[in-house]
Structure 1
Amino acid sequence: MASNNTEKQKFTFHHPELGPLTGLVQPDNVVQFRAVPYASIPARFKRSILLESLLQGENNHTEYGHFHKQQRREEESTGASLHPRRRLRPRQNRRPALHRPDGSTIDQQWPTHRLRIHPVPPRRFSYLHTSSADSNLALNDQRNALLWIQRFISGFGGDEKRVTVFGESAGSISICYHMLKEPPSSGPLFDRAVLMSGIIGPSTAPCEVGDAEKRYDAFLTRLGIEKRGDEGLRKLREVDVERVVAASAEMGDEGGMWLAVRDKEWFDGDKERVTWDRIPELIGECKWVNDIILGCTSFEGTTFASRYADVKPDAFLSSIKDQLGEESAQIVAKAYNITSTMDQNLFLTSLLRWVGDAIFDAPNHMLATHLSTVSVASRVVASGASEGKKAKNVYRYIFNVRNPFPNNVLYQQPHHWVDIYFIFKAHQFRFPSERLKSISTKHAQLWIDFANGKKPWAEYVSSGKGDEVAMLADEREGWVEKSVNEVEGELEWGYGRCEELVRSWEGKKGGEWAPLDLKCLKGVKKT
């Protein structure tokens, strides 16, 4: 291996099955194998096919891979991009942006070679349901990546029985979906998971096939495609990718999300059980993942500030009443301190808290509470008494570090995805203080320790007394273990608010619905 002062030296590694792969030696003595393909795509909107070997003539992996246009749009709209002018080169292959000898994926902006763990790979146009044969494309892409790791990781010196996945937002939700599907006959695809700001909830639960077909029909109409069936799909494949991205974004701005589809194939014929309220129970039944880190940022909903700035408190309460009923509207009003005539600034804060809870915090709290309760129960009952309920070690955190970039629209907010700026360490050169750099380094180290089988901090054990332990990251103390009572006192909010919100949803159990599908929010676009 090259010395630390060699930055651009090439290194050829001979994999026993894949053959020679040439990568670049980095200053920290990590070899980057960039853009190693793990699957191919027969056509746009078709299910990817796992590659059992390298593509012919492709053994030089010294160049960066392909960056998806959807993610590029997200970065540019939020000022998130580290390399805003980088060139996009879409091709018909699925591949991690980079690949190390131990199997982890790397991206120029999110360089996981500094983490040494295995995340779920990036997305494509993969939640557009075009037919029953090609549903849940994103999940199948990810499964192929995990299957590729199982197939080839040992040749890189890795252990296919010790794979940790982590994801944020949609990535975290995707991991939940993988935990709902039975692993292949060869065995589990991972055994540890880090769920960052994303648990399946009412806003992100899988939709029925019929609803997915209606959304696909609306998508074709938006693109001016009148034909349906095979001819409509053929015309869709001919549409310029920028138009596809723009149309997708427009539909998102008007409300709703591209969701996974509740089909029998992914959910092994038991799709009727997969409703938002049963997700904690179903994830708890996943017998092959025993250790889970899960958490959120401290103000997830601030990303919606510009969109909902003009919503009025009386209109919001009226919409909640129409959606959930009078009793539930009263529960929400009390939990979030909302009155119909309150100050607009105070209301917006409460509204954004509600949005963040509805999409992120409440599902996270539901899962943490269920898993930690089941884990405790299964450890104290006699053997066999809790059959089917695998004890899980649950580690909970709250990320309360604010956005440090003045040119970002969410500057000085602990918003959704702000933790991504820290965990990969790629942005440390931009941080204005050593404290922030140390928080970033500690963040990576905790995730590394967890992937290496260590206990990152004290387990979260639900007691209802406020003595549960969670890890709090903030700018004053860094990463510190605290009781729930301490966290709630310092941040002036509590998990009790999430519990009240879920209580207001009681009448919606067992069915599909979206908390943000309110009259006062309809037609509100991002500004």
Structure 2
Amino acid sequence: MSYETYTFPHPVLGPLTGRLVENDSVVHFRSIPYATIPARFRPSEPLSAIPEIFDHRPHRQFTEYGFACPGRAHDPSDLPGELPRQYDEFKCLTLTISAIKSQLDIVSSGSLEQLNHLQKLPVLIYLHGGAFTEGAGHISSMHETIRLASFSITDSSTPTILISIGYRLGAFAGLASQDLLDEAIENGDEEIFNQGLFDQRKALLWVKKFIGGFGGDEDRVTVFGESAGSMSIALHLLADEPLFSRCAMQSGNVATFGRTLKWDEVNGIYEKLLKSIGGDAGGTKEQRLEVLRNIPQERLWEEFIGIGGAVMETYYGSEGTFFKKLEGVVPVYSNHVELTAKREWVDGVIVGDDFWEGYIFRNGLTHAKHKKFVKMFKTVFGQEMGTKILDSYDIEPDEGVWMDQMKFFVRVMYLIGDLFFQQPTVQMVDGLSKAYYNPQASGDGRKQKVFRYQFNLPNPWPGSPFSYVSGHHFVEMFYQFMTFRERYPTHRNKFYQRQSEEMARLWIAFANGKNPWEEYKEQTGYKIQICDDVNGWHSRTRDEDVERSRDEQWGERRYKQWELITEGFENLEKEGGKEKVEWARRKLWDMNGYMDDEDFVFSFGKKED
């Protein structure tokens, strides 16, 4: 064993042993269990104590990582310090804590007077992304939070506790059907469907209950997440459970979901999955569920993805209970911002994205054909509005006119990314700004704040499909945790390391209740914090950004295009209500509808035979 350990007598949980890291300033408690799973697809059961037996590790020893939740296979060979992952669907509901050693010392040995005057520390929690089908931020060296915790001490003297959580994915988390509903009712389950979101809720409740014993402040909890993690935060806001006081949504909200699943669709996915593994749809409910529960976890994940299972989608129907406080209102593109703005228990929100989100769709869009796409697009938005939007992206709007395929490929990546990531970011931040700062809309008593950013540093690693692409989806993950700082190029006075540290500094300030940068509001010109490869982190008003970005080498910020997309959806809502908007978003999401390659089926870049 090449590391020092620290055993902390938690006042409720008892002795816990973690690793001493970062010059003994941080104690890293790895994979502490917060819930158990009684059976596949069933609700998890929260833990109020450390179980005698949970996984392969010695009791109360949290110096090594535990299991990941089953998901897309992961190659850790290129990540420093990362070991091959082990997957176990029943032992993966854990969280990892980067605690501040000096605070633990006071809690464990301080006098009663010291404890009475203890300044509790803010808590910053990470929800990993991965399209709800992959990811393991709670056991990943790439997403390790120890450097953020250490930096909070050494850089700004604002020590902050960092936590990352694991939750179920894919079919293990999101499968819904009449069989599962009937079983849940028979069992008296209160948590029906969306089990991955319920897992997250239980982890956040565990933090609320036990973080005080680590010297943390249960009333100063900030969550941040990227992609599916950001979408999860948006869903927790809609569910209206006050589990945190601040949040940072990075590239994702409800409008990022390609479609709102209907009851017949989730049942269709269930039946298709059952058929793909050889189950008998004509058997009893118990027989069908037994088949699904008895196949190996690896095969279940593969079959679910193979049939086109719900990727970046969730079920909001009244049969489920995660959104019961919405009382039957289904959150969709047309109403999700209005619903989010009503959550007055949140006092600060960061909303942001990456410059070229659509690059994540490159594999599928390679097969997109100009003629088919343009025809579909104008069918959705109408001849006039569709032409305006296509023109703004420099896509030839006449399907009968030839367009260079490579140019079309690049431009359509921007457009699709904007439809499902960046325009929803604008929709969210503009809506919250109006609600928070408009006295007529919000009243004089609201103190909430909203902040906007956009990230546009390149992927610095050669040999990657994303090599040197500026602002691609999830690229900030290579900077935010400072876990790759030894790999950054050192030219320009360690420019990339400095931007990584500044991002950490901004998010830590936010978790400590400070303004990370100027608020996004009309009164000050709608300030946006930008990180790019020339200026690093810096602030501009929206008007300044419109002018300056026109001459920047990666391209201008696409305000005009986002406004046209917004106008297009508003027109559709006027014509046919939110139902027509949802129809349109389904058509746009179905990339298979504008591809010519019969051998390719789009499933987030996966090729199926």
TM-score by length of 1: 0.89
Quote the offset at 1:366 in angstroms: 0.2
Q: Which residue in the other structure is 2:112 paired with?
A: none
Deviation at 1:438, TM superposition (A): 1.3
Structure 2 runs not aligned, ≥5 long: 54-58, 101-122, 127-137, 150-161, 185-191
2:530 corresponds in structure 1 to 472
For the residues of structure 2 that align with 1:450 and 1:190, how far apart are their CA atoms? 13
For residue 245 of structure 1, report the CA deviation from its aligned partner. Answer: 2.2
What whole-Å deviation, never above 9, does each CA across 1:191-211 have from its counterpart, x for those lacking one?
000000011106356433332
* Structure 1 residues 495 and 118, CA gap change in structure 2 (3 angstroms): farther
Quick check: 2:96–2:165 contact (8 Å CA) kept in 1? no
**Equivalent in the alignment of 2:515:** 455
Are 2:73 and 1:16 aligned? no
State how far apart, in whole Å, the 2-side matches of 1:220 and 1:204 are: 24
Tell me which moved more, 7-16 or 162-171.
7-16
The structural deviation recorded for 1:222 is 2.5
Match of 1:336 among 387, 393, 412: 393
Q: 1:200: which partner in 2? A: 254
Matches of residues 213-292 of structure 1 in structure 2 within 5 Å?
Answer: 213-227=267-281, 229-252=285-308, 257-263=312-318, 265-267=321-323, 268-292=325-349
Is the 2:28–2:96 Cα contact (8 Å) retained in structure 1? yes
**Alignment of structure 1 residues 99-138 onto 2, 5 Å:** 99-101=97-99, 106-107=138-139, 108-116=141-149, 117-119=162-164, 121-124=166-169, 125-130=172-177, 131-132=180-181, 133=184, 134-138=192-196
- Structure 1 residues 111, 405: closer, same or farther in 2, change over 3 A? same
Distance 1:309 1:89 in 2: 33
- Choose 332-341 or 134-143, whichever is displaced more: 332-341
Question: Which of 493, 496, 501 is the aligned partner of 2:557?
Answer: 493
Q: Structure 2 CA distance, aligned partners of 1:461 and 1:118?
A: 31
Q: Which secondary structure state, in structure 2, belongs to the residue aligned with residue 480 of structure 1?
A: strand
Question: In the alignment, what sits opposite 1:169?
Answer: 227
In structure 2, the residue corresponding to 1:421 is in which secondary structure? helix
Whole-Å separation in 2 of the counterparts to 1:283 and 1:435: 37
1:346 aligns with 2:407: yes
1:295 and 2:352 correspond: yes
Q: Does structure 1 residue 190 correspond to structure 2 residue 244?
A: yes
Q: What residue is the counterpart of 1:400 in the other structure? A: 456
Report the Cα offset of residue 271 of structure 1: 2.8
Q: Note the C-alpha offset of 1:154.
A: 0.7
Shift of 1:439: 1.2
Structure 2 SS opposite 1:161: strand
TM-superposition CA deviations, 1:181-224 (whole Å, max 9, x none): 132xxxx2100000000111063564333322222222222233
304-313 vs 33-42, which moves further: 304-313
Counterparts of 1:44-123 in structure 2, within 5 Å, are: 44-56=40-52, 58-73=59-74, 86-90=84-88, 92-101=90-99, 106-107=138-139, 108-116=141-149, 117-119=162-164, 121-123=166-168
Opposite residue 496 of structure 1, the aligned amino acid is K
- The aligned amino acid for 1:192 is R
Tell me which residue corresponds to 1:510. Answer: 578
Query: 1:446–1:456: 8 Å Cα contact kept in structure 2?
Result: yes
Q: Separation in 1 of the partners of 2:215 and 2:83?
A: 36
Q: Of the two, which has the highest radius of gyration?
A: 2
Q: Does the 8 A contact of 1:285 with 1:390 survive in 2?
A: no
In 1: Cα distance, 2:311 partner to 2:67 partner: 28
Q: Is the 8 A contact 2:95 2:203 kept in 1?
A: no
Q: Which moved more, 1:201-210 or 1:34-43?
A: 201-210
Q: Secondary structure at the match of 1:418?
A: coil
Contact 1:65 1:97 in 2 (8 A): no
Partner letter of residue 67 of structure 1? A
Look up the match of 1:438.
Answer: 498
Paired with 2:316 and 2:272, the residues of 1 have a C-alpha distance of: 16
Three-state SS of the structure 1 residue aligned to 2:438 is: helix
1:312 aligns with 2:369: yes
CA distance in 2, matches of 1:44, 1:191: 32
Partner Cα separation in structure 2 for residue 245 and residue 494 of structure 1: 38
More deviation, 10-19/317-326: 317-326
Deviation at 1:520?
0.5
Please name the residue that 2:36 is paired with.
Answer: 40
Q: Is the 8 A contact 1:38 1:145 kept in 2?
A: yes
Contact 1:120/1:165 (<8 A) preserved: no
Cα separation, 1, equivalents of 2:286 and 2:13: 37
Give the 3 Å change call, closer, same or farther, for CA 230–486 of structure 1 in structure 2.
farther
Residue identity opposite 2:594 in structure 1: C
* Deviation (angstroms), 1:85: 5.7
Partner deviation per Cα, 1:276-331 (whole Å, 9 max, x = no partner): 21111011011111201111110001121122113222211101133343334223
Q: For residue 349 of structure 1, report the CA deviation from its aligned partner.
A: 1.6
Q: 2:215 aligns with which of 157, 163, 184?
A: 157
Aligned counterparts of 1:273 and 1:257: Cα–Cα separation in 2: 17
Specify whether residues 46 and 460 from structure 1 end up closer, same or farther in structure 2 by C-alpha distance, changes over 3 A only: same
Q: Which moved more, 1:46-55 or 1:93-102?
A: 93-102
SS of equivalent to 1:295: strand
Judging changes above 3 Å, is the alpha-carbon distance between structure 1 residues 87 and 167 closer, same or farther for their aligned structure 2 residues?
closer
More displaced stretch, 120-129 vs 289-298: 120-129
Paired residues of 2:68 and 2:87 also in contact (CA < 8 A): yes
Q: 1:51 to 1:85 in 2, by over 3 A?
A: closer
Q: Tell me how far apart the structure 1 counterparts of residues 2 and 260 of structure 2 sit (CA, whole Å).
A: 45
Q: Which is worse superposed, 195-204 or 36-45?
A: 195-204
Structure 1 residues not aligned, in runs of 5+: 1-5
Change (3 A) 1:84 1:52: closer
Alpha-carbon contact 1:166-1:172 (below 8 Å) kept: yes
Alignment partners' CA distance in 2, 1:49 and 1:431: 42
How far 1:80 moved relative to its partner? 7.7
Q: Secondary structure at the match of 1:98?
A: strand
TM-score, scaled relative to structure 2? 0.77
Instruction: Report deviation, 1:477.
Output: 1.8
Superposed CA deviations along residues 420-440 of structure 1, whole A, max 9, x for unmatched, are 111111122222232111111
User: Which amino acid in the other structure matches residue 299 of structure 2?
Assistant: R
Q: How far apart are the structure 1 equivalents of 2:445 and 2:254?
A: 19
SS of residue in 2 equivalent to 1:195: strand
Amino acid across the alignment from 1:194: A
For 1:158 and 1:288, how far apart are their aligned partners in 2? Answer: 19
Secondary structure at the aligned position of 1:22 is classed as strand
In 1, Cα distance between equivalents of 2:456 and 2:85? 34
Report the secondary structure of 1:307's partner residue.
helix
Query: Aligned-pair distance for 1:161?
Result: 0.6
- The count of corresponding residues between Structure 1 and Structure 2 is 507
Structure 2 CA distance for aligned equivalents of residues 390 and 154 of structure 1: 28
How many Å separate the matches in 2 of 1:175 and 1:305?
A: 26
